[in-house]
Amino acid sequence: MLWLNPVGLLAALCIALLLECCWGEPRRYHPLVGFGRLATGLAQRLNRGAGLVLRGGLAWLILVGGALGVFIGLRWQVMQYSPLLAYALDAWALWFSLGANSLLAHVAAIGTPLMAGDLPLARAQLQKIVSRDCQALDESQVAAGAVESCLENGADAIFASLFYFILLGGAGALLHRLANTLDAMWGYKTPKWRHFGRCAARMDDLFNWVPARLCAVSYALLGQTRLALTAWRQQAPQWDSPNAGPVMAAGAGALGIRLGGAAPYHGQIELRPELGFGPLASAPDIARSIELIQATLAWWLGVMVVVLLFTMVVMHSG
């Protein structure tokens, strides 16, 4: 962050949050649409033949490195003429990298029908944001799926982007969002993607390692701290994902509920470790998970503003 102007970063942060609060993610001309098409086309060309791990790494480097290079080059050129426009670019990068409004709206759309007793509609809404088979899920399983998505995607779609923004500005937020997008497209352990998508999955794990743990700490501090820390320590290591485990374990403990357990994927039951302590998730817990995300976001924004203001004072006094 030292190579960036904290005043400009603070202004960019405020503009991006204003855009996110008013409009959420860009609905038209979203840059990720074009990026996704490029990724799909490149995968069709390279995801075949021998050396798939190397091919996947090369594809990742071309896409992420290329997009990041274009952004940094454009920002440098703009900075020569107008620093204000350069930080407007940072605000744009953070705005399209954040997914708070979209995530919380999708999760709330599951909780509302579930609270009203409309289980089929709640299942249909859950199916929009998860890969598990939702047709036969009971109320508790639907609630658990919604809470798990809220906690895990909150770490990915909100807090990791904020972490890299405060660290590297708009380029950092962009870097994380693109890496996360390629993991979502390629990072599956299926025959088609197991080798080609390995680099995308590993890079996403690497980029999310620190922000995921900061997010887990935040969940713990803002909920039932003792249960959250115990769940994180005892249960997270059993989870396949090195980042989703701490985030969801701490979140489940913070809410005082149990998540995980058996879930249907692609016609088979996957036995997942249990996370958290207390009763199984229920419909009211969906709203509680949204409130936890909102409280964590407020906490993070407060810390970011303090850090930027402190940096401004230090630079001014120096």
Supply the range of the domain harboring residue 240: 6-317
Per-residue pLDDT of the chain (318 residues), as tens digits, is 445 788 899 999 999 999 988 877 666 667 778 899 999 999 999 999 999 999 999 999 999 999 999 999 999 999 998 989 999 999 999 998 998 999 999 999 999 999 999 999 999 999 999 988 899 899 999 999 999 999 999 999 899 999 999 999 999 999 999 999 999 999 988 899 999 999 999 999 999 999 999 999 999 999 999 999 999 999 999 998 999 999 999 999 999 999 998 888 877 888 899 999 999 999 999 999 999 999 999 999 999 999 888 888 888 775
Place of tokens 């996947």: 56
Measured CA to CA, the distance from residue 26 to residue 226 in angstroms comes to 39
Q: How many domains does the chain have?
A: 1
Contact, 53 vs 198, CB < 8 A? Answer: yes
Inside any domain, residue 1: no
Inside any domain, residue 232: yes
Query: Which of 139, 129, 136 is closest to 99 using CA atoms?
Result: 129
Inside any domain, residue 120: yes
Backbone phi and psi for residue 274, each to the nearest 5 degrees, phi listed first: -80, 145
Token pair for 40: 């799909």
pTM of the model: 0.93
Inside any domain, residue 17: yes
Measured CA to CA, the distance from residue 310 to residue 316 in angstroms comes to 10
Residue spans of beta strands (DSSP E) within the chain: 258-265, 268-276
End-to-end CA distance of the chain: 16
Inside any domain, residue 161: yes
